[in-house]
Amino acid sequence: MTSKEKLIATLQPNLGYLKHVETNPTNTACVFLTEDVGNIERYIFQDMVYERDYYIPAFSLSFDGKKLAIISPESDRIGKAVILINGEVKYNTGLDTVYCLQWLSNDELAWYGCNESEDRNERTKDHGYFINGQDMTDRFEFECFYGGSVMVKMDNFVYCIDKNGNQSQSKVANGDRWNNWGFSDQTEKVERPQTIQVGKKVAVNFNATTGPLFDEVGLAKDLRTIFVDDKTLRPYYVGMRYSRTATLLGKMAEKLFEKAEEIEDRKGKIPFWGWPLAYLFGPYSPLPLGSVFMERSKRYYPVNGNQVWGKGYHYIDDYLLTPTSKMVVVAHEGKKAFVVIDEKKVSSDYDSVYHCVYLPDEGICFIGRKDDNFFRVVVN
C-alpha cells in the first residue's frame, strides 16, 4: 500500500489551544476551533478567523469544503442573527436566535430560528425554518443527527441526507419529527450484538456465537461501539484487556480489600496494612500509583468476526470496515497516532489523526497533524 500526503492547512500557534477539528466528507478542508487562556474562542477557516469571548452558536461546513456558514460574532451587538458565508454577510435573518445551520447541498443552506417573546406559546411570522433566506416554515422541517446525517421533511415527503451529502429516495411522511416522520420502518426488528458477562469478563454474543473474552468492550467516547459487517453478518469492535501482571495485582488488591473490610467489621478498625493499600488503589487517593499502573497496562485489541488481532494498542480512537471487509483502526502508541489496516501499519506517525474514512475512488483517507501542519492523507 502507498500513502500520499498533501498539506491543506497550517494552524498559527498564537491563535490558541486546538479543541476541535471539523472536516468535510472528503477531508479536502477543515475548520479549527481553538481557545486561549483568556477564554477567547475562535473558529479558523482558510485565512478567516472568527472570535468572541464565548461559544459561537452555529456553523456549518459545506459538503465540498468550499463554504463555511457561521453566525456572525457581531450578531449580539446588532441584536439580530447575521449569517456569514466565507466571511461575507449573506443573510440578515431578522431573527433573535438561529439555533441550527445546515447545508442541504453545496448551494442550499437551511436554518431554524425564532424571535423571543414573553409568551412562550406565541409564534411570530419570522419563527421557523428557512432555506437560502426564504421562509419555508409551512412546508419544510429538518433534524440533524449524530454522525452527520440530516432528516428532511418537504411538503408531504421525507428523505435522508447522509454525512456525505447523498440524498435517499423520498417516502411519504407519516407522523412527526419525533419518529423521523415515519422514514424508518419501526416494525422492522434487526438483531444486534449484545455484551454478556462471563465470570468477571465480558464478551460479545451475536447469532448464537460468543466471541473472545475481554475486561471491557468498546470505546468510552462512542456509545455505538459494536458494529455488524453487512456482507458477512459478523461483528467488528474493539476489546480491552489488562496485562497479566495488572490482572494478578488487581485480584490481589481485591482480596486484600475484602480481608480489610472483614477485619474492620469484626474489630471495628481497619488493619494497619489497609491504609497503604487504600493509598495505592483507593479512588480518592492523592497518590493512586496502583490505579495508574492498572490504567497504563490497558491494551485495546481490534476484533473482526471474532478474530482478535495479535497486537494490542495503548488506545484506539476510531475504527471502520472497508467494502472488502478489511478493518481499519486509528491507533495510538505513546504520543503518536497512526493508521493500521488488518494488522499492518500503513501510515507514518502523526501527533493526531482526524476523520478517518473510506472513499470509493481513493481508498482510506484521513487528516494527520504534524506540529502545526495538517495533511490530507490517502492510503491505497
Residue 57 near residue 99, CB atoms below 8 Å: yes
Which is it for strands 157-161 and 150-154: parallel, antiparallel or unpaired? antiparallel
Cell triple for residue 42?
Answer: 475562535
Distance in angstroms (rounded) separating the CA atoms of residues 307 and 319? 15
What pLDDT, on the 0 to 100 scale, is given for residue 282? Answer: 59
Looking at residue 56, its pLDDT comes to: 66
Domain assignments of the chain as residue spans, ordered by start? 3-182, 194-243+296-379, 244-295
C-alpha cell at 377: 492523507
Fill in the amino acid letter for 319. Y
d(CA 246, CA 288): 14
Tell me the mean pLDDT per 10 residues along the chain, length 380: 91 91 96 86 90 77 95 76 93 89 96 75 65 93 87 93 92 83 62 87 90 85 72 90 79 73 75 64 61 82 93 92 95 94 95 96 96 95
Contact criterion met (CB below 8 Å) for 25 and 165: yes
| Cell numbers for 227 | 458494529
Q: How far, rounded to the nearest angstrom, does the alpha carbon of residue 278 sit from its chain's CA centroid?
A: 36
Spatial contact of 7 and 29, defined as CB atoms under 8 Å apart? no
Cα 130 to Cα 66, 92, 154: the distances in Å are 21, 12, 12
Confidence at residue 187, expressed as pLDDT on a 0 to 100 scale: 44
Lookup: cell for 309:
488481532
3-state secondary structure the chain: CCEEEEEEEECCHHHCEEEEEEECCCCCCEEEEEECCCCCEEEEECCEEEEECCCCCCEEECCCCCCEEEECCCHHHHCCCEEEECCEEEEECCCCEEEEEEECCCCCEEEEEECCCCCCCCCCCCCEEEECCEECCCCEEEEECCCCCEEEEECCEEEEECCCCCECCCEECCCCHHHHHHCCCCCCCCCCCEEEEECCEEEEEECCEECCCECEECCCCCCCCCEECCCCCCEEEEEEECCHHHHHHHHHHHHHHHHHHHHHHHHCCCCCCHHHHHHHHCCCCCCCHHHHHHHHCCEEEEEECCEECCCCECEEEEEEECCCCCEEEEEEECCEEEEEECCEECCCCECEEEEEEEECCCEEEEEEEECCEEEEEEEC
- CA–CA separation, 370 and 140 (whole Å): 43
What's the CA gap between 189 and 227, in Å, rounded? 16
Question: How far is 217 from 195, CA to CA, in rounded Å?
Answer: 8
Q: Are 346 and 3 in contact (CB under 8 A)?
A: yes
At 186 the pLDDT is 46
Closest C-alpha to 99, from 65, 144, 132, 135: 144
Residues facing 43 on adjacent strands: 33, 50
